Amino acid sequence: MAIRIYNNEIKVPVFERRKMKVCMKELVEKEGKKLGGINYIFVSDEDLLEINKKFLDHDFYTDVISFDYSHDGIVEGEIYMSIDRIIENAQKMKIACSEEIYRICVHGLLHLLSYSDGNSDEKEEMTRKENEFLENWKN
């Protein structure tokens, strides 16, 4: 299986797609799982809002939504990411868009790996995992 990236006919800032795919596979393996098929799909704010309303009954903007189809230790799913949120977050944090893309890719994948950010403790653990993995990724 593989990691595929789609841009849904919107412009996505430049980032190292091959490196991202290799690193996402590495994260799956570090968590003791096997990689199935994962689709990363870049969409607009409005598209992700519609997905949020339709499937999660949430009426607010978000940067990422993951749909988990994993089974028997094989990680599979779809990760929808708002390019508008990514660009805005990068500007607020004064980082390159590519860095924020990587962070959102990791965050979405952590959801497929059964991590949650529903409460403050879970969010703290997930952020720690993101930071740990991204720090190792840079080296």
Q: For position 135, what pLDDT does the model report?
A: 86
Residue 48 CB burial class (10 angstroms; 0-12, 13-18, ≥19): buried
The 10s digit of each residue's pLDDT in 64-95 is 999 999 999 999 999 999 999 999 999 999 99
What distance, in Å, lies between the first and last C-alpha atoms of the chain? 27
| Assigned CATH for 3-138 | 3.40.390.30
Average per-residue pLDDT for the chain = 93
Q: Which amino acid is at 117?
A: D
Question: What is the structure's pLDDT at 50?
Answer: 96
Q: How far apart are CA 72 and CA 104, in angstroms?
A: 25
Is 82 in contact with 48 (CB distance < 8 Å)? yes
d(CA 78, CA 113): 12
pTM of the model: 0.93
